[in-house]
Amino acid sequence: MPVMRIFSKVAKQALLSTPGCGCQPLTVAVRNISFSPRQVTSDASFHSVSFSETDHPKVLITGGLGQLGVGLAKLLRKRYGKNNVILSDIRKPQNSVFHSGPFIYSDILDYKNLREIVVNNRITWLVHYSALLSAVGEANVALARSVNITGLHNILDIAAEHGLRLFVPSTIGAFGPTSPRNPTPDLCVQRPRTIYGVSKVHAELMGEYYHHRYGLDFRCLRYPGIISADSMPGGGTTDYAVQIFHDAIKTGKFECNLRPDTRLPMMYIDDCLRATLEVMEAPAETLSMRTYNINAMSFTPEELAQELQKQMPELEVTYEVDPVRQAIADSWPMNFDDSNARNDWAWKHDYDLPELVQTMLNFFGSETRMARFN
């Protein structure tokens, strides 16, 4: 259903049920039906805020079976209660995920199905992770266009209709070769050359348009490359930074598909998930913009390998450059300027490169590493 028809219907219902409000503009009527969870004060510590059983959000996560969706669900369930965070996807979840909390089938290309989920479960926050990543998207542009753009339109319309707080992640891929690369500010030229990047610029602009035009509480973070130990790479250009740990543990050898001097911004998943929660909880009045860069560290494959070799000197690293992925990486930022996020809602990362490597190795465990070399 087109969004303006939806808004007209909602406005008509509001006017009929509220005496004396016939002079209210449409945008006011839409905002009046929205739900706003209790928000923290701008100077409060993330760890000091708690939510009672009556004022927590009810969260739906689309594309929830990826590394970010599963991780964010775990964090949010600990904070708001297990039954208040619903994971959704079109794939069958693993038993551990299925039994960890509510899971529901949701196809973002099926507008009616998605709308029913929001209504029936009284959703107030929507986290939209469904997307095809950079390298996978280039291999199937038509599918990426459908999922990343058409699916987004469904999400925007439903979020606006029901007054949801909507989070849509963006990426370093939203920038292109004509963007400033070191550092890359929040606002600059964006001319990406991948369908993934184009779709994310589209998401940023459409979300901000819906915010200004309809009052949608849209929030967006441009993620750097995200590194996690408990999931396999998912088709992104920065996936080498995850694959190197898997290969180091299994074989003691790693072949990198980027040049050794390719510098890209990176972040450990715990920092990424915490940033997502913090920006969602931030009071609206503290946000000077709706799309922010966030950053933690910036390194090259060579620097990552050298840090890893400090603890695994037997690791052999070679380079076989994939021209497609290298071209993508060469068009992306080398470093993010995230000063606005740090100033507006006190963003601060915990993991630099040494902490990242140690954490990843700790996850795999010393016994696994010893078994490889004995």
Q: Among 272, 274, 280, 279, which Cα is nearest to 336's?
A: 272
Residue 43, token pair as written in the block:
């100077």
Instruction: Please indicate whether residue 196 is annotated as part of the active site.
Output: yes
Residue 256 CA to residue 240 CA, distance in Å, equals 6
In the set 80, 129, 196, 240, the catalytic residue is: 196
Catalytic residues: 196
